[in-house]
Amino acid sequence: MNIAILLAGGSGSRLGGGKPKQFIEVCGKPILEYTLDAFESCPLIDEVCIVSRSDCIPLVEQLVAKRGEGKVGAILSGGKERYHSSLAALERYTCDEDNLLFHDAVRPMVTHRIIADCLKALDTFEAVGVAVPTTDTILEVDDRSCIVSVPPRRMLRNAQTPQGFKRRVIRRAYDLALRDPSFTTTDDCGVVLRYLPEVPIHVVEGEKTNIKVTYAEDLLLLEQLVSRQ
């Protein structure tokens, strides 16, 4: 099966306001609903799983119930860290041959092209990321904030989601990670890269419009993108 895992456990602290950012309405709809639309309307996706903060699960259930019959097969409680949400999905889906696409729930403008390219890449690779070429010069600095290197821009990418994996690969990577007392992570590709370095992670071309809503100005940009549809 091709399963989309929507990671909706964020608090939106950097955005401000009184509610988690995935429930903020843009042009009359919560951000999470736009993201759900993108995956449910993609014919290649068999099932959608939403992983949320435990206190927000009733809000997710209301949103899903309002939409009627769809592809949501599970609504799960995540944890304090992002990887706890990934682990919750790995406990729910146990078939090692499943393709799992982990996606930020507040990245609502993901396209069917990106989704399809990720799934196609999983025919050949066991781990897939999405990224766009960086347009800025990136500086590496030391603890004193002094430049130590300027990596060539042609080799650098800005990461997006979804990140896709054969279930057996991401499960094995986390099994190894959880035995490491110094384990920290911000994304699932990073877990595979660190603990299964022999597994190539193929990069699919993303899109500039595949934005993640983090700051207030991102909401303004999202409104513009939605209005153009």
Q: What percent of the chain has pLDDT over 70?
A: 96
CA 147, CA 187: separation in Å to the nearest integer?
A: 26
CB contact burial 23-49 (16+ within 10 A = b; e otherwise): bbebeeebbbbbbbebbbebeebebbb
Kindly indicate the confidence band of residue 192, based on its pLDDT and cuts at 50, 70 and 90.
very high
Find the DSSP H helices in 93-207. Answer: 112-121, 167-177, 188-195
Q: Do residues 64 and 72 make contact, with C-beta atoms less than 8 angstroms apart?
A: yes
What is the per-residue pLDDT for 22? 93
CA 72, CA 64: separation in Å to the nearest integer?
A: 8
Q: Do residues 86 and 102 make contact, with C-beta atoms less than 8 angstroms apart?
A: yes
What pTM value is reported for the model?
Answer: 0.93
pLDDT, one tens digit per residue, over 125-158 is 999 999 999 999 999 999 999 999 999 999 999 9
